[in-house]
Amino acid sequence: MATLKHISSKNSNYTAIEAYLVYQHDEFTGKQLLDEHGKSKLRESYLLDTLECGDFSFATACLLANRKYGKNTQHGDIKSHQYIISFDPRDAADNGLTMEKAQALGLQFCKDNFPGHPAIVCTHPDGHNHSGNIHVHIVIGSIRTREVGRKPYMQKPRDWHEGMKHSSTAQTMRHLRVEVMELCEGAGLYQIDLLNGSKERVSEAEYWARRRGQLKLDRENAALTATGQQPRQKKFETVKDTLRRQISSVLYRATSFEDFSAKLMQQYSIAVKESRGRHDPSPPERNGLHKGHGRGNRRNGELDQQLPAQDSGVQERW
């Protein structure tokens, strides 16, 4: 089940992008790992190619484009975009996916969808969570250096004219997700429907909060085990994880919005407040509200059927 992730960057140090792809980094601090001689350690395995860079490196090609078109001069300008295609870990054993095949697919995807942009395409054999998923990093300079043919998903002249900047709009992302699905289908790889959101979507910040919290909890549990004590908790939960679990435990037993709100308050001391038509829960330990869109895009059809018509839109925020 290949997935597609987009990251925009305002970092003007283009060489740092290639360094990340080539050298080993600490997954929590982001710092390069050094060997016993103090030199940066290369990744054990990777494949890397550049496109639309001419005889220059990716960094130089991007800097030349910035200078030629007089763009990306401000700190807040988006200098590059990264798209990561992560393939299903089962594809290697079941469908014959290799790094070489993934790199070829990534190169074709880049040529088809980001023509005119200086680009790096780099394939890694595994993710930082060691799940065994081959994945491809596609990094493009934000400025298009030549005119390209207009495609159906392109809405404005900036999407195909020379000297314009790439814009990752909702329409663009929808198109790219379809492209990934068709890419996997054509290559005989596992795939899911990328056009419909997952039941639980977490932000980059929450993902790393989970990773750091779990690592800390594992260390604490190891210390307890070493002294003969039994750990009380094995899985770390972020504040939002806890909130989701508490809401879900009440949601399916509620018969109306008033019942839902009352149960949350009685069982967990969580007040549900309304702000600009949005209903947001406020845990007792937090001063501010947890905005509905920050907990994922889960929709609960079960509650739609349980609540009166005038309340049927309330639960969509959870």
- DSSP secondary structure, 167-190, as one string: ---HHHHHHHHHHHHHHHHHHT--
d(CA 305, CA 307): 6
Please give the chain's pLDDT, 318 residues, in tens: 688 999 999 999 999 999 999 999 887 777 888 988 899 999 989 999 999 999 999 999 999 999 999 999 999 999 999 999 999 988 999 999 999 999 999 999 999 999 999 999 999 997 655 667 899 999 999 999 999 998 888 888 999 999 999 999 888 999 999 999 999 989 999 887 667 655 555 666 776 677 788 888 888 888 888 888 888 888 888 888 888 788 878 877 778 878 888 888 888 888 887 766 666 777 766 544 454 444 444 433 433 444 444 343 444 333
d(CA 13, CA 10): 9
Q: Residue 73 carries which side chain, given as an amino acid letter?
A: T
- pLDDT value, residue 200: 57
For residue 127, the number of C-alpha atoms closer than 13 Å in the C-beta half-sphere is 14
- pLDDT value, residue 126: 79
Q: How many helices (H) and strands (E) does the chain have?
A: 9, 7
- pLDDT value, residue 208: 65
87-91 CB contacts, 8 Å cutoff, 24+ apart: 87/2, 87/133, 87/134, 87/135, 87/184, 87/189, 87/190, 88/1, 88/2, 88/133, 88/189, 88/190, 88/191, 89/131, 89/132, 89/133, 90/190, 91/134, 91/189, 91/190
d(CA 73, CA 31): 26
- pLDDT value, residue 316: 38
- pLDDT value, residue 131: 65
| DSSP alpha helix (H) spans, 195-256 | 204-226, 239-251
Quick one: angle between helices 170-187 and 99-113, nearest 10? Answer: 140
The tokens for 144 are 């298009």
* Kind plus residue range of the DSSP H or E element containing 6: strand 3-9
Residue pair 116/146 in contact by the 8 Å Cβ criterion: yes
d(CA 69, CA 233): 56
Rg (CA), the chain: 23
